Structure 1
Amino acid sequence: MRVAIVGAGAVGATAAYYLAKNRHINITVFDEGLGQATQAAAGIISPWFSKRRNRSWYHLVRLGADFYQDLVADLQQEGQQADFYQQTGVYIIKKDEDKLKDLYDLALSRRDEAPLIGDLKLLSKSEAIKDFPDLQGFETLLYASGGARVEGALLVKTLLRASRADIIKKKVSLSLEGKDYVIDGQHFDTVILAAGAWLGQILAPLGYQLDLRPQKGQLRDYYFSDLDTATYPVVMPEGELDIIPFPSGQISIGATHENDKGFDLSVDTALLNDFEIQAQHYFPYLKNASSFKERVGIRGYTSDFSPFFGPVPDLINTYTAGGLGSTGLTAGPLLGWQLAQLAQGREPLLNLEDYAVENYIVKTYQ
């Protein structure tokens, strides 16, 4: 079977990795390498404190968090490094610290079905700074030992290397020729479309209309020569701000959620400087960073901020996932694995009706 995967982010790269385990499948991955959300992402995996009422969404992100355990184990069993993922715990900070008890109770009620949450504790400032020195701006915070961080670029690099798939770095289109799909002059039996915010540009020429929009995300990586940040917990204050430590003295601050910038990939220094000021309220030592660099990527999101995955209507053996928005690192690998299962004729773990593609992708003309 000849399979094309368009898009090599969290979804596409995971699909490639799991399809590659089937020696009867020949895989080609296409990715332009411009503006990819995963490459520009540093993420916190900690969905259990969300108060969103969409049960299907929570089910997806809960299982997405769990799936990292399987993904890491599968890679390590093959002798691959899986240092893109690390459970360092998560700190949750609220301006109104009375809300922390409510979140504690919420997570506790979910822990039976999500044991990955791990230990739950309300920590005083003196307790919290033992693991994250110089953290400020609170008297009490909520800690969960199961919280994790993911480096998006390293995730994709690891999966693509392990897949040994052919990677073609160019922008491509999709056409039909008889029963075959044609991409970049090559013929395929099955196609997985994991192009994120660019999915509409692939399907529109085939007569499809999509409920999918681009969302610009920016973050800044700060580097410290005098800090050992490898085991620092990730920090989730209120709002868009996240503080995400990585090994080798790196702390990532972000990320923006800009719904009106289209596919603009320019760095907005003023916006990131504002994030820096916000972050210094919690981590004043940020001003001592020896250097920094920015990342910009484009996420895809739907009008109701719900994701979708499954077969593309009226395109046999073509599958897609999208609309993940800022949950791409949490849910993307799980959905990539699910698409790999669908492409091989296997039953998905998730109920397709809960994430119906036809709610967001409609064929408007032949």
Structure 2
Amino acid sequence: MKVIIIGSGIVGASAAYHLSRNGIDVTVIDANHEGRASAAGAGIVCPWITHHKHPDWYTLARRGALYYGELTKELENDGEWDIGYKQVGALAISKEDEVIKQFQAEAMSKRAAATPEVGDIKRLSGEEARGLFPLLNIEYQALYVSGGARVDAHLLCQAMQRASSLHGAQFVEGKASLTLKNGHVVGAEVNGELYACDQIIVTTGAWTNEFLSPLHCSIAIKPQRGQIIHFGVKEHITSDWPVVIPDSSYYMLAFDDQRIVVGATRETGAGFDYRLTAGGVKEVIEAGLEMAASLENSLISEMRVGFRPMGPDTLPLLGKLQGHHNVTIATGLGPSGITMGPYIGVVASEIALNHTLPFDLTPYDPLR
């Protein structure tokens, strides 16, 4: 069987890795768009405390978080050790006692529901929380959940791409267009060359409708711009600092290289405007200082823009495209791309191979 994957972001690279490891002939075609979604994601993997309440969202987010354990071992076996993944725990923070109680109840409920990986759950004072994340403002109460983790999305993508190549996957750079014969998809053309296939997996994120246009159909997807800032804190050793999840849409986390990441804006209606804006940068900095005022003395080492693929709700758009038995759609992960992305790549691969899934795919219908 020959499978073409359009897009080599987290979902596409994961699909390529899963398929190539199982002996499938895989070609990955990527247009190398500026602003792929992972650029707007900091790297938090912690569905145990979240603002998302939809049970079908949690089904995938839970499986996505748990899959990282398997994935890291597979990548290590293929010589890929550095993806920035580490279980550092998570701090849910708020100045309101009731909010912390809600976070605690949520985490305890999920742990009790056959998910011991949530780990230890403990309420902390502001001083205790600051002991784990020294830059954190002391007026915050916190809930510590040991099962929280973080990953560097850029390193993860690169590692899965290299490992896929090791197992025989071919990567082609260029803008692909669908090739049809008698109304059926038979492959994709890129740089004037036709790549024939039996199945095609579309992981083109916010650009999906442009790719699907030859089929005269569209899905409910739109870009949401996210601006994110990386701060250098050379005076601290940040390797083991937990991810920080406040009672807002922002977040903060640390990586091994003495780097703090704060993000991200959620700008619906900006289209594919690939610009850092004064308003967006101001918003991110203010959110960071609200959580950790000591960041005012740090250096801004990098600022990024990415376009999250937003569907009609919080659920991914995932499944075979109605009327086209060999076209699988995997997009619409929104702000959950890093948590779910690698696992969604595996699911998309299994869908393309017509394998049975361990959950009902109906809620994620790409044409809903």
Q: Report the alpha carbon displacement of residue 225 of structure 1 after superposing the two structures with TM.
A: 2.2
Which consecutive residues of structure 1, in runs of 5 or more, have no partner in the other structure?
A: 360-366
1:268-279 correspondence runs (5 A): 268-279=277-288
Aligned 8 A contact 1:219 1:252 in 2: yes
- Give the SS at the match of 1:318: strand
Aligned 8 A contact 2:88 2:150 in 1: yes
**1:142 pairs with 2:143:** yes
Q: Return the letter of the residue paired with 1:142.
A: L
Give runs of ≥4 in structure 1 deviating > 6 Å.
Answer: none
- Give the SS at the match of 1:58: helix
Aligned 8 A contact 2:49 2:92 in 1: no
Q: Closer, same or farther in 2 for the Cα pair 1:54/1:40, shift >3 Å?
A: closer
Q: Closer, same or farther in 2 for the Cα pair 1:71/1:217, shift >3 Å?
A: same
Q: Report the alpha carbon displacement of residue 139 of structure 1 after superposing the two structures with TM.
A: 4.4
Look up the match of 2:133: 132
- Give the SS at the match of 1:275: helix
Q: 2:157 & 2:367 partners in 1: Cα distance?
A: 28
1:167-206 correspondence runs (5 A): 167-177=171-181, 180-184=186-190, 185-206=194-215
TM-score (norm 2): 0.92
- Give the SS at the match of 2:38: coil
Aligned 8 A contact 1:228 1:249 in 2: yes
Q: 2:124 & 2:226 partners in 1: Cα distance?
A: 31
- Give the SS at the match of 2:305: strand
Deviations 1:212-263 (A, max 9, x none): 1111111011112222111111111122221111111111110111101011
Q: Closer, same or farther in 2 for the Cα pair 1:51/1:36, shift >3 Å?
A: closer
Deviations 1:138-166 (A, max 9, x none): 34210101111121111111110110032
- Give the SS at the match of 1:351: coil
| Residue 221 (structure 1) aligned to one of 223, 230, 239 | 230
Aligned 8 A contact 1:3 1:189 in 2: yes
TM-score (norm 1): 0.93
Aligned 8 A contact 1:224 1:291 in 2: no
Greater mean deviation of Cα atoms: 176-185 or 271-280: 176-185
Look up the match of 2:107: 107
Look up the match of 1:209: 218
Q: Return the letter of the residue paired with 1:313.
A: Q
Q: Return the letter of the residue paired with 2:221.
A: L
Q: 1:193 & 1:24 partners in 2: Cα distance?
A: 17
- Give the SS at the match of 2:48: helix
Q: Closer, same or farther in 2 for the Cα pair 1:82/1:348, shift >3 Å?
A: farther
- Give the SS at the match of 1:277: helix
CA root-mean-square deviation = 1.7
Q: Report the alpha carbon displacement of residue 51 of structure 1 after superposing the two structures with TM.
A: 5.3
Which consecutive residues of structure 2, in runs of 5 or more, have no partner in the other structure?
A: none
Q: Report the alpha carbon displacement of residue 40 of structure 1 after superposing the two structures with TM.
A: 4.0
Task: Quote the sequence identity (%).
Answer: 33
**1:292 pairs with 2:293:** no
Q: Return the letter of the residue paired with 2:164.
A: S
Q: Return the letter of the residue paired with 2:228.
A: L
Q: Return the letter of the residue paired with 1:181.
A: G
